[in-house]
A and B are shown apart, each in its own frame.
Chain A
Amino acid sequence: MSAKTETAPSAPQRMRPVVGHDNREWWDHINEGQLTIQKCKECGTLRHPPRPMCWKCQSLEAEHMPASGKGIVYSFVVIHKPVIPGYEYPLAVAVVELEEGTRIVSNVVGIEAGDVKIGMPVKVSIEAVDETLTLPLFRPAS
């Protein structure tokens, strides 16, 4: 019996988010299936992307509050080129304005890229895009 194991050539994968001190908690919540928004414990200001200090009151204390995941497409693009391995084209990327008021960038999926519109209601869908990466994606809200 041969001990040799065949490894399938690995499929190209999406680029990874960069996770560090200031955003680890946010990504931990995503991996648990929850979209959150960073909130200043001192003055309540919401901020995204997460950062270590509140720009309103300079507090270093923050917490992550669950977001409803509902929002609208504030702007979007349909990317044709360049084609980067790991993604399917045409690729729709949107700035989504969450109902809590913060914005987030992600893909709009579950719809033809060409049918995405500004103002369209969308809802977060936290999905495993490959074996080791979970992302908050957005789908049209029915």
Chain B
Amino acid sequence: MPTSIKDECAIVGIGQTEFSKFSGRSELQVTLECVEAAIADAGIERSDIDGMVTLSIDGSDEIAVMRGLGSQELKFFSRVPHGIGGAMSLVHQAVMAISSGMCKTVLGYRALNGCSGNQPKASAVGGPLSTDQVHWGWYNPYGFSDPTSWVAMFTQRYMHEYGATAESLAEIALTMRKHAVNNPNAMFYDKPITSEDYFNSPFIAEPLRFYDCCMEADGGAAFVITSTERAKDLPHAPAVVRGVAQGAAADQEVMTSFYRDSITHLPEYDLVAKQCYEQSGLSADDIDAAVLYDAFTSIVLYQLESFGFCKRGEAHDFVKGGTLGLDGRLPCNTNGGQLSEAHLQGINGITEAVRIIRGTSVNQPKKNDHVLATSGFGVPSSAMILGQSR
């Protein structure tokens, strides 16, 4: 029995559509487009795909994708829960399936008309009484029903306990935007912002301002993953999975884990980090670049601390002075992130992490031996470390 999945599998293909406010087509079509692109990029046949995985909230069933691809059979399929927390869980599922011999090549995908379409709302009512509905029922009556406000609740306390200020958040917002300005596929391509723009922007939910928040988008992204052995015969430099993990921690809620002793760190991120480092034998010092889930600026701070780039409570100082920029200690979200490339619920983090390993990011960091990619905040989460083929 393997004790770690280190280096067993590699991401060999990536694909995505354009990111926009209005895709003008069905989510299934967007899915099929990015899936086709990923398969072509991997240099494999459609019939080589014998497993598929997506998020439980995705609107396109794997059997609909199968039919689109003309697939004869699938030996593995699954869904991972908790939306934004699930992006790297797709890799987790695929790695488990391949390295336990269940299938050979897995396609992961996620596409959404997140801006133009009818997205399922957290406040959804009607239907059978799910634990999820009961959960939202504790918050909706108070008008506390928007992701920005939930994240702001954590952020307020973080700032209070650690003396963090909006300066750190501005640093993150401006860095991500700077990266997006160079990325033709970003929604904010060529649309820079200044520090004044940041501080003059209105509050959405105090202490979070307009530029602390990502923008919803339409689009899709997909990846193909197979055994490292097989990856050697494929066209691109394989992005080898050194570690990949999921985590939910004690007293975990979805976005509202306010009942723990401390809400200024998230133990689910600690748990995910611990597993990634244990599996890979690496530490924060070995990570050259990162794609951190940044639907909101402040959540980057939590992740930097959990993944050990600085001590707890110190990330707001750590990020100052260009740390997350191309010449900083940890080039971060070189695609512009969820904040400024597009909010694709983190799936575009997988494609960018692979590009960094391949050396093909539009903002390519100088060093790219190991890249960390993480998933959403405040929910059961996931992360992976990719590395170069040896």
For the complex, what is the distance from the CA of A15 to the CA of B142, rounded to whole Å?
8
- Which residues from chain A contact B142 at a C-beta distance below 8 Å? 14, 93, 105-107, 135
- Which residues from chain B contact A49 at a C-beta distance below 8 Å? 134-135, 138
- Which residues from chain B contact A14 at a C-beta distance below 8 Å? 140-143
- Which residues from chain B contact A76 at a C-beta distance below 8 Å? 153, 156
- Which residues from chain A contact B154 at a C-beta distance below 8 Å? 75
Q: Does B149 contact A (CB under 8 A)?
A: yes
Mask of B145-165 contacts with A, CB within 8 angstroms, 1/0: 110110011101100100000
Q: Does A111 contact B (CB under 8 A)?
A: no
**A15-B141, A18-B136 are known contacts. Are A79 and B205 too (CB-CB below 8 A)?**
yes
B-side interface residues, number (CB < 8 Å): 35
Once the chains bind, are B258 and A22 in contact (CB under 8 Å)? no
**A93-B153, A105-B138, A135-B142 are known contacts. Are A18 and B202 too (CB-CB below 8 A)?**
no
- Which residues from chain A contact B203 at a C-beta distance below 8 Å? 78, 80
Stretch at the interface among A2-10, A64-72, A81-89: A81-89
Mask of B267-308 contacts with A, CB within 8 angstroms, 1/0: 000000000000000000000000000000000000000000
Band of interface residues on A = 35 or more
Q: Does A126 contact B (CB under 8 A)?
A: no
For the complex, what is the distance from the CA of A79 to the CA of B145, rounded to whole Å?
10
A106 to chain B, nearest CB (A): 5
Once the chains bind, are A18 and B133 in contact (CB under 8 Å)? yes
CB within 8 Å of A: which B29-66 residues: none
Once the chains bind, are B143 and A87 in contact (CB under 8 Å)? yes
Q: Does B125 contact A (CB under 8 A)?
A: yes
A133 to chain B, nearest CB (A): 7
Once the chains bind, are A15 and B145 in contact (CB under 8 Å)? yes
For the complex, what is the distance from the CA of A90 to the CA of B204, rounded to whole Å?
10
For the complex, what is the distance from the CA of A72 to the CA of B206, rounded to whole Å?
19
Once the chains bind, are A22 and B134 in contact (CB under 8 Å)? yes
Once the chains bind, are A105 and B139 in contact (CB under 8 Å)? yes
For the complex, what is the distance from the CA of A78 to the CA of B202, rounded to whole Å?
12
**A75-B263, A77-B153, A102-B259 are known contacts. Are A18 and B137 too (CB-CB below 8 A)?**
yes
For the complex, what is the distance from the CA of A129 to the CA of B140, rounded to whole Å?
14
**A77-B152, A95-B258 are known contacts. Are A82 and B157 too (CB-CB below 8 A)?**
no
- Which residues from chain B contact A87 at a C-beta distance below 8 Å? 143
For the complex, what is the distance from the CA of A78 to the CA of B139, rounded to whole Å?
14
- Which residues from chain B contact A77 at a C-beta distance below 8 Å? 144, 149, 152-153, 156, 205-207
Once the chains bind, are B206 and A78 in contact (CB under 8 Å)? yes
**A16-B137, A75-B157, A77-B206 are known contacts. Are A105 and B129 too (CB-CB below 8 A)?**
no
Q: Does B389 contact A (CB under 8 A)?
A: no
Once the chains bind, are B258 and A75 in contact (CB under 8 Å)? yes
**A18-B129, A95-B153, A107-B143 are known contacts. Are A48 and B259 too (CB-CB below 8 A)?**
yes
For the complex, what is the distance from the CA of A106 to the CA of B138, rounded to whole Å?
9
- Which residues from chain A contact B133 at a C-beta distance below 8 Å? 18
Once the chains bind, are A17 and B140 in contact (CB under 8 Å)? yes
Mask of B190-209 contacts with A, CB within 8 angstroms, 1/0: 00000000000011111100
Once the chains bind, are B140 and A16 in contact (CB under 8 Å)? yes
Q: Does A128 contact B (CB under 8 A)?
A: no
A-B contact pairs, 27 of them (CB 8 A): A16-B140, A18-B125, A18-B129, A20-B134, A22-B134, A23-B137, A77-B149, A77-B152, A78-B206, A79-B143, A79-B144, A79-B152, A79-B205, A80-B203, A81-B148, A86-B143, A87-B143, A90-B206, A93-B142, A95-B157, A95-B258, A105-B138, A105-B139, A105-B142, A118-B156, A118-B157, A135-B142
Q: A18-B133, A49-B138 are in contact. List 12 more A-B contacts (CB 8 A).
A: A16-B125, A18-B136, A20-B134, A48-B259, A74-B258, A74-B263, A77-B152, A78-B206, A81-B205, A103-B259, A105-B144, A105-B256
- The 5 A-B pairs of least Cβ separation, nearest first, read A18-B137, A15-B140, A75-B157, A78-B206, A87-B143
